[in-house]
Structure 1
Amino acid sequence: MIDFANVRAIDFHTHAEEACGCHADDGYDELQSTMAKYFGAPWSHPPTIDETAAHYRKANIAAVIFPVDSERETGYRRYDNYEVADACARNSDILIPFASIDPAKGKLGAREARNLVENHGIKGFKFHPTMQGFYPNDRTAYPLYEAIAEAGVPALFHTGQTGVGSGMRGGNGMRLKYSSPMHLDDLAVDFPDMKIILAHPSFPWQEEALSVAQHKPNVYIDLSGWSPKYFPKILVQYANTILKKKMLFGSDWPMIAPEKWLDAFDKAEFRNEVRPLILKDNAMSLLGTMA
């Protein structure tokens, strides 16, 4: 179990990536290497879950980690949720496992979600509308959301432009329109007790994301995917004031290392009393974890 009283922070946004050579290449290697160049990531191949755990253990940072089930839309092989859960169980002193299920799986996906929470220690679910090719408020996704809401665990959604496919021909088929945060306003109405996290500064829809998070009590924002030195001024303003209990530290590992994000955060214009909320306290409240 994680010693939440003593970890320095909780990173709410890290990716479980199958390292190069661990899968039959279906184009995923090119996607990963292009993203690494986009973000300036230093590694030659994506780290495994065990390698990720070792990195975070050394840094004394707990991490929410998840795969992305996008094989229907992209053709890239799914990283099995049960494999991810098993790897996280080996590293339960530092990792908090989330799963990912394509909403198009309907009741089948809902059944998997229930099993993952009840029997495999999954603490939440990750969605990437652009990679998975769906509008988050599409009613076909509701059976899966119903299972998540019943389980009482959070749902985290990518929002805004994505580095995935950036610069590739046709954006590698990724359509940005799916990731507008306004689609999640419907979910916050229809599932008012489900905790919803809007991942990333939501360029070019930053004000829409702030509006939804301010208006809906069950909506939060994780600050991953960007260095804090590039955060829009209005995002910092809201984080320092009316949304100070709604903001979460997230790096977007392995594209952005947590120590690099934290170094920029130290230099950004966040109030001293807000910093511990963003780094750990808000995440602990959201996860229902007591120090």
Structure 2
Amino acid sequence: MNVAELVAIDVHTHAEVSRDGHGSLSPELFGASKEYFKGHARPTIPEMAAYYRERGMAAVVFTVDAEHATGHPRIANEEVAESCAEHADTLIPFASVDPWKGRAGVREARRLVEEYGVRGFKFHPALQDFSPNDPMAYPLYEVIEELGAIALFHTGQTGIGAGVPGGGGIRLKHADPMLVDDVAVDFPELRIILAHPSFPWQDEALAVATHKPYVYIDLSGWSPKYFPPQLVRYANTLLKEKVLFGSDYPVITPDRWLADFDELEIKPEVRPMILKDNAAHLLGLKP
């Protein structure tokens, strides 16, 4: 990967369909997400690689393992990692391990980093039905910290389950970033990304990222024109080295996100930091 030639690094994209057509969500939950985001395609990982390569960008790719809470089989982490390795000029593999899998999940996480080159792990506490500060998940964080990988947590409201009776069983309380603050205390060397503007907990996310040196914020899931003003203010100042470009592709395309970001009042010297430099530093990508 030629980092110097990249226009941007998108730290938040989803592998929503496997090579055999299996979806990452159940039909009910995918239908709700599709309705919430006004429809979107489900590209394969090779199609994602072609999309980002054409735009001179790199992308972090992951799926979500929520088998315990949803009963829906995940897309295999090995498939995601192998597909990213086939397109290593533009794709960076993350994985997802359901914390409910206990010791088996810990062993899997270690193997994925050591044998498949996975760089981080995606957690979606609301969808996976666990609190980030539940000690049940701590052995998994421990191995992620030990291996120098990144833990990326969904925070704030989610489009998954929106409009389904009972929200499809998804409890939004698990997505409060203050719960991740406990993780940052108990695992002080763990690199953490708080994904999304954390509605309705935006101020909490800013507080955690300001207070904890290894907690970052990605800007995925929202068009920049809807960012809360305090998020823009902190991105321009106190958190200018800790805010990361993320789109949430394919539900939001980087084309749309970047077009709206161009209209945002971001300082010229901060713009490249958000779009590429901060992520390159966090991911350990060398020029």
Q: TM-score, normalised by structure 2?
A: 0.97
Partner Cα distance (1:27, 1:178) in 2: 19
**Counterpart secondary structure, 1:140:** helix
1:169 to 159, 165, 175: 165
**Counterpart secondary structure, 2:207:** helix
2:65 to 59, 64, 69: 69
Partner of 1:5: 4
User: 1:198-223 CA distances to partner (integer Å, 9 max, x unpaired)?
Assistant: 00000000000000000000100000
Partner of 1:245: 241
In structure 2, do the counterparts of structure 1 residues 20 and 62 end up closer, same or farther at CA, with 3 Å as the change threshold?
Answer: closer
Partner of 2:197: 201
User: 1:43-78 CA distances to partner (integer Å, 9 max, x unpaired)?
Assistant: 3xx111111111111111100000100011012211
**Counterpart secondary structure, 1:145:** helix
Structure 1 position 32, deviation (Å): 2.0
Give the AA of the match of 1:263. A
1:159 to 155, 161, 168: 155
In structure 2, do the counterparts of structure 1 residues 244 and 26 end up closer, same or farther at CA, with 3 Å as the change threshold?
Answer: closer
2:270 to 267, 270, 274: 274
Moved more, 254-263 or 165-174: 165-174
Structure 1 position 152, deviation (Å): 0.4
Structure 1 position 40, deviation (Å): 2.5
Partner Cα distance (2:220, 2:25) in 1: 25
Partner Cα distance (2:52, 2:130) in 1: 32
Question: Mind listing any 5+ residue stretches in structure 2 that lack a counterpart?
Answer: none
Partner of 2:13: 14
1:148 to 144, 149, 154: 144
**Counterpart secondary structure, 2:250:** coil
2:35 to 34, 37, 41: 37
Give the AA of the match of 1:60. G
% of aligned pairs identical?
60
Give the AA of the match of 1:103. P
1:261 has 2:251 as partner = no
Give the AA of the match of 1:283. A
1:190 has 2:186 as partner = yes
Give the AA of the match of 1:5. A
Partner Cα distance (2:273, 2:105) in 1: 34
CA RMSD of aligned residues (A): 1.5
In structure 2, do the counterparts of structure 1 residues 190 and 254 end up closer, same or farther at CA, with 3 Å as the change threshold?
Answer: same
User: 1:68-91 CA distances to partner (integer Å, 9 max, x unpaired)?
Assistant: 000110122111111111111111
Q: Retained in 2: the 8 A contact 1:148–1:154?
A: yes
Partner Cα distance (2:9, 2:192) in 1: 17
Q: Which runs of 4+ in 1 moved over 4 A?
A: none
Partner Cα distance (1:33, 1:131) in 2: 15
Partner Cα distance (1:19, 1:196) in 2: 27
Partner Cα distance (2:114, 2:61) in 1: 18
User: 1:156-188 CA distances to partner (integer Å, 9 max, x unpaired)?
Assistant: 000000111111221111110000000011111
Structure 1 position 282, deviation (Å): 0.3
Q: TM-score, normalised by structure 1?
A: 0.95
Moved more, 32-41 or 55-64: 32-41
Partner Cα distance (1:192, 1:19) in 2: 35
Give the AA of the match of 1:33. G
Q: Retained in 2: the 8 A contact 1:136–1:183?
A: yes
User: 1:236-259 CA distances to partner (integer Å, 9 max, x unpaired)?
Assistant: 000000000010000001100011
Partner Cα distance (2:270, 2:29) in 1: 36
Partner Cα distance (1:19, 1:85) in 2: 12
- Size of the aligned set, in residue pairs, is 287
